[in-house]
Structure 1
Amino acid sequence: MNTVQPQNTESLPSLCVSELIRVQAQNNPDRIAIVAPKRTPLNYGSLCDRIHQTATILNHLGISHNDRVAVVLPNGPEMAVAFLAIAQTATCAPLNPAYREQEFDFYLSDLNAKALIIQPGIAEPARTVAKQRGIPIIEIYPQIEAEAGTFTISENLTNSASQIPNPEPHQIALVLHTSGTTSRPKIVPLTHLNLCTSANNIRQTLNLSERDRCLNIMPLFHIHGLIAALLSSLSAGASIVCTPGFYAPQFFSWIAEFQPTWYSAVPTMHQSILAQAPGNRDIISHHQLRFIRSSSASLAPQIMAQLEATFNVPVIEAYGMTEATHQMASNPLPPRERKPGSVGVAAGPEIAIMDEAGNLISIGEIGEVVIKGANVTPGYENNPKANAEAFTNGWFRTGDLGYLDSDRYLFLKGRIKEIINRAGEKISPREVDEILLEHPAIAQAITFAAPHTLLGEDVAAAVILKAGMTASELEIKEFAAQKLADFKIPRVILFLDEIPKGPTGKLQRIGLAEKLGMTASNPTAAPVEYTPPQTANEIKLAEIWSQVLGIEKIGIHDNFFQLGGDSILAAQIVNRVRDTWEVELSFLIFFQQPTIATMAEKITQAGAAMIESDGLAEMLAEIEALSDEEAQQILDQK
């Protein structure tokens, strides 16, 4: 049977989050727990006090265990303390502050939130939705001059010394939504036992101690930041730097100021850090890192090698997901072997490989990765269908394809739903990624499925070229053809300046074709038939596109990206549209239907809305009735 047993672990120091902090505070109250840029450090004794004070206030406001408290706060020490306090007395539901009003409306409703914790001036759409839904709003006010993580609350109470009972291990501490591929995200409840188990697993995998310091650049509304960075550090009695979030130009100054011993990030962050490295060689020569961790997406072997060469420390790639309270497997620290391309060995839960029929299969065979253990969610909330699909004989089905080698290192082959099915040929997009990244001119690459009338799906890729380097689509295809079977070679390659990412900085293959405007049913067919511009708006836009892209003849249905466009050139077009029509065109149009025809329609709609308020709607009709030459003269005069 293809099964990996969990690592030997010590007894958990606690089975609830508040007790985990309390143990550290009792043993070493003066040890630094949380630091932040331009803030006084917060020690474990004070952290324990802050947690208790906040939990007491929430309790007096009528919030108790199992009540859902939505939290919309920026990254930083206040978010860290709020999470720990809410987990003691209720259930924490962190949300991305960048959500739009419609998204907040869905999540707050789906959570049945008892209250919303928010900071003035942050995520106003969340406040709007909470008021509309009658959800109580609790505001926190950071005390910048005080210790990191110190804040007051809009509902202050005095002389309150009530003791809040510790939650039971099975009680829900945290709820998160999966991004998934369905139209409706699923709620993942995670218990105190889940959280403490996972934090302990990560602590042991990384051999964390009180001497360590983590530089957190991951968002604290995400399981990676909450568990891998924050809770694992605190479970070890170590310290954590709570930054405002990832900002590559600032990263090296934080390394110099706080001297962390490790950081954890997603691959796109590592790539951005590498891009900044040449200008920060002095800081790199004096860093105190003992390892770098990568998780939440596959790390290309080339990036791993570059990181290790740059920082001269091991890079530890781990494998995690929300339903497992983050970590499932991890490459071990030296002197144990790290295998590039592998996500390591079981690091907490049991790991096995299962076939489609639900049978565990042998070493070396590819199948679905399945797990079981105390860090695995008890099941999706109010979703029997999803639970029936996700659990088989006590094993949780991750949805990832992979295999175990003879040393029981896990190698992933991609998400089952990310696998490209080209006329029956199954193609792993990660395999194509790694080949493309070997091209000397390519800095980033992501392979994804593009719709095809005859084949069902075909292979497409989006690439970012290295600064100062060039490569044509044909050159890249010829390079890939030397190392890939014909059916694996991308039929469409888009050159971008930035690849669209999810809210946590993760590259998302599923749905990328639609985001990039590849809505044609047959993307490998010959270019669309040339359709000349006809209206005044189309004629002017064609002129702008021609100047920006350096292409003489552009039809109104030609795709911007397939003409060689990228986000820098898109910004130039947006600026010229603003100058010409005094219309603010949304950049999102370039990731929906990036054609002159669509853009001209948007400009016409925006112009109509603008002049209607001045009682000039008839003028638009008159202009449209003019000849092209007359309309152009009017536009030039404007």
Structure 2
Amino acid sequence: MTTIKAFLQGHDDTSPAIGAPGRDWLSYGGLRALGDKVAGQLHAAGVGRGDRVAIVLPNGPEMATAFVTIAQAATTAPLNPAYREDEYAFYLEDLKAKAIVLAEGYDGPALAAANRFGLTVMRLRFDPAAPAGEFELVAEGGGGACDTGEPLPGDVALILHTSGTTSRPKIVPLLQSNVAASAANIRASLDLTPADRCLNVMPLFHIHGLLAAVSASLSAGASIWCAPGFDALKFFGWLKDADPTWYTAVPTMHQAILSRASRNRDVIDAARLRFLRSSSASLPAQVMMELAETFGAPVIEGYGMTEATHQMCSNPLPPRAQKPGSVGVEAGPMVRIAHEIEDRLVDGTGEVVISGPNVTPGYEGNPEANAKSFFEADGQRWFRTGDQGAFDDDGYLHLTGRLKEIINRGGEKVSPLEVDGVLMEHPAIAQCVTFALPHPKLGEEVAAAVVLREGATATEREIRDFAAARMADFKVPRKVVILDEIPKGATGKLQRIGLAEKLGLAESAA
């Protein structure tokens, strides 16, 4: 099964595939028929194999099925619906998009940007009374010849950009075979079967939702119930209505869910969750343990990134251990440790590298980034993840942080994840992120932003004293900012890089 179309085959036509609040289920037979219909509508608009189609849709079942069906005929490029016009213009030009899929009636910045470049605009129209995810595409203009052949395993299925927090975003092309391999890896590590159902709250312009929730489930013949985005106030109602066996989320979402768990005990007790999954950022050990205790189910932390078509490592299911503070064991690709500068594998702590059929062939149009990110050793082509870590004696990977996020305090290296782990032990702290604060003499100083638990109190001095009793002096945050909410990225991840500037601390520290 080396293409998206291939892994949709062989499942019972009548089995439920895609669901949503207040909607009937779209069956596997219906999903396969939709794929054929959408291919015809794209071809009629002059869009086919190898052509790039930007998708700008709100979260929900139509976004899920748009990705799955369009990828069976062309190359998909999902974009964040919250972008402004200039951001859309950058991505559409960078992608060399030929067409864009927009909701019927949408008249926002993505349309204005598409019109700048003369893209074929395709409107997605659906009937709320129809099964979840059923839609049709209506082209405004377009037409002409295109390649109507089915995409092959070596064709690009999905194009995403890196976050670009420190440089221009890089284009990551993911092949049909990359998506199929990663879906199979996730399916195997979570032991997904047709009896499973995922409650998806992740944004579907992001690799986490597209691969872990949607693609892995579909490759197993399982079902996905698509919420219209994440909402902690509605989560427990969705949990009751969807009746899932699992859900996947980023740590900030899990923490928001925990904050409302005590008042939804009846829903939790009635749920049939087989496991909970966390990925896309480091899950604090304390949160992992609290989730497991609250839901009475194991918490499976996965380690992923865009260039790996999401998953690289995963904490295993019982009876094997889930280790709080670890991202688990190798789960698909080969995962090793490399020297941070020299192109060779090493024992101990170093840069995490991966090799396997789920790894992108390389950044598009960026030979310099490829030369830095890929190297040959021991008969394999390795990708440098930019993460630092080490394996323990049981083969579980423990990350010490992003190499570019490691704080260099006058030559003394501080792992933000280590400081986070200590601060999260404080009984008043619900959430924290440690980050670098510019310093005129040391270069960087350690700082932390924290959110207190509801009803709890703590001062900056108390938090610093707590940390000072538990770690070396040079690791103790010199500045602790207590906030109602820590700024997050588009996918709900806490972002360390640039946080000092966002909080207005960079200038005062200089």
TM range (shorter): over 0.9
Partner residue, 2:92: 108
Aligned partners of 1:451 and 1:521 also within 8 Å: no
Which has the larger helix fraction? Answer: 1
CA deviation after TM superposition for structure 1 residue 56, in Å: 1.1
CA deviation after TM superposition for structure 1 residue 128, in Å: 0.8
The structure 2 residue matched to 1:436, chosen from 423, 426, 430, is 423
Aligned partners of 1:350 and 1:372 also within 8 Å: yes
Aligned partners of 2:312 and 2:332 also within 8 Å: yes
Q: Secondary structure at the match of 2:172?
A: strand
Is 1:404 the equivalent of 2:391?
yes
Aligned partners of 1:98 and 1:123 also within 8 Å: no
1:337-486 matches, cutoff 5 A: 337-355=321-339, 356-362=341-347, 365-393=348-376, 394-486=381-473
Aligned length: 501
In 2, Cα distance between equivalents of 1:182 and 1:412: 20
1:89-100 matches, cutoff 5 A: 89-100=73-84
Aligned partners of 1:380 and 1:387 also within 8 Å: yes
Partner residue, 1:254: 238
In 1, Cα distance between equivalents of 2:107 and 2:34: 24
1:574-585 matches, cutoff 5 A: none
Q: Deviations over 1:445-474 (max 9, x none)?
A: 000001000000000100011111111110
Aligned partners of 1:91 and 1:172 also within 8 Å: yes
In 2, Cα distance between equivalents of 1:222 and 1:155: 25
CA deviation after TM superposition for structure 1 residue 121, in Å: 4.7
Q: Secondary structure at the match of 1:248?
A: coil
Give the 3 Å change call, closer, same or farther, for CA 122–312 of structure 1 in structure 2: farther
In 1, Cα distance between equivalents of 2:365 and 2:457: 52
Q: Deviations over 1:553-588 (max 9, x none)?
A: xxxxxxxxxxxxxxxxxxxxxxxxxxxxxxxxxxxx
Partner residue, 2:110: 126
Is 1:505 the equivalent of 2:492?
yes
CA deviation after TM superposition for structure 1 residue 164, in Å: 5.2
TM-score using structure 2 length: 0.96
Letter of the 1:270 counterpart: H
Q: Deviations over 1:588-610 (max 9, x none)?
A: xxxxxxxxxxxxxxxxxxxxxxx
In 2, Cα distance between equivalents of 1:152 and 1:324: 32
Letter of the 1:493 counterpart: V
In 2, Cα distance between equivalents of 1:322 and 1:210: 26
Aligned partners of 1:452 and 1:521 also within 8 Å: no
In 2, Cα distance between equivalents of 1:120 and 1:424: 56
Q: Secondary structure at the match of 1:65?
A: coil
In 2, Cα distance between equivalents of 1:133 and 1:164: 24
Partner residue, 2:119: 135
Partner residue, 1:599: none
CA deviation after TM superposition for structure 1 residue 184, in Å: 1.0
CA deviation after TM superposition for structure 1 residue 21, in Å: 1.2
Partner residue, 2:268: 284
Which has the larger strand fraction? Answer: 2
Q: Secondary structure at the match of 2:8?
A: helix
CA deviation after TM superposition for structure 1 residue 344, in Å: 0.7
Aligned partners of 2:48 and 2:149 also within 8 Å: no
- Identity, % of aligned positions: 58
In 2, Cα distance between equivalents of 1:497 and 1:390: 38
Is 1:23 the equivalent of 2:10?
yes
Give the 3 Å change call, closer, same or farther, for CA 234–153 of structure 1 in structure 2: same
Q: Which has the higher contact order (CA 8 A, sep 6+)?
A: 2
CA deviation after TM superposition for structure 1 residue 66, in Å: 1.3
Q: Deviations over 1:232-256 (max 9, x none)?
A: 0000000000110111111101111
Structure 2 gap ranges (5+): none
CA deviation after TM superposition for structure 1 residue 123, in Å: 6.8
Q: Deviations over 1:184-236 (max 9, x none)?
A: 10000000100000000000000000000000000110000000000000000
In 2, Cα distance between equivalents of 1:236 and 1:149: 19
Is 1:494 the equivalent of 2:481?
yes
Aligned partners of 1:16 and 1:166 also within 8 Å: no
CA deviation after TM superposition for structure 1 residue 165, in Å: 3.5
The structure 2 residue matched to 1:229, chosen from 213, 218, 221, is 213
Letter of the 1:359 counterpart: R
Q: Secondary structure at the match of 2:300?
A: strand
Q: Deviations over 1:343-389 (max 9, x none)?
A: 11100000110112122111xx1100000000000000000000000
In 1, Cα distance between equivalents of 2:441 and 2:504: 20
In 2, Cα distance between equivalents of 1:46 and 1:239: 13
Q: Deviations over 1:267-304 (max 9, x none)?
A: 00000000010110110111010100010000011000
Give the 3 Å change call, closer, same or farther, for CA 163–450 of structure 1 in structure 2: closer
In 1, Cα distance between equivalents of 2:150 and 2:113: 32
